[in-house]
């Protein structure tokens, strides 16, 4: 398993995605986040196909911090059952990955 992960979810609004990103980075569960959008999603929901506009949120963390990040994300996400997926980062620059590890290693200050 990779030590580093890119975690993805989506929200209905840019503001909701930014609020989640700010909370998770401030809590040091993610080293950084990117809000991308709007994007068009096509999906099955409640037995029907749907299409909607969403804002994609990408979060970067370590495998060790993932369980806490997922729990905090699900707790604050505006949807009841949001998509939350984690993709291993299999390679990256030494400086970037070192920074990411350090960014999520410390608990937030007072």
CA separation for the pair 43, 80 (Å, rounded): 16
- Look at residues 103, 38, 22 and name the one whose alpha carbon lies nearest to residue 65: 103
Name which CATH class applies to 4-105.
Answer: alpha beta
- Spatial separation of the C-alpha atoms in residues 110 and 93, rounded to whole Å: 31
CA 110 – CA 106 distance, rounded (Å): 12
Residue pLDDT tens, the chain, 110 long = 579 999 999 999 999 999 999 999 999 999 999 999 999 999 998 899 999 999 999 999 999 999 999 999 999 999 999 999 999 999 999 999 999 999 999 765 54
pTM for the full predicted model: 0.92
């Amino acid at each position: 398993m990779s030590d580093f992960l890119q975690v993805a979810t989506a929200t209905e609004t840019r503001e909701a995605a930014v609020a989640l990103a700010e909370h998770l980075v401030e809590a040091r569960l993610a080293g950084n986040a990117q809000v991308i959008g709007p994007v068009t999603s096509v999906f099955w929901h409640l037995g029907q196909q749907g299409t909607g506009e969403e804002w994609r949120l990408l979060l970067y963390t370590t495998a060790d911090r993932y369980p806490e990040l997922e729990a905090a994300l699900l707790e604050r996400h505006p949807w009841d059952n949001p998509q939350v997926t984690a993709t291993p980062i299999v390679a990256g620059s030494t400086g970037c990955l070192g920074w990411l590890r350090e960014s999520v290693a410390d608990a937030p200050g007072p």
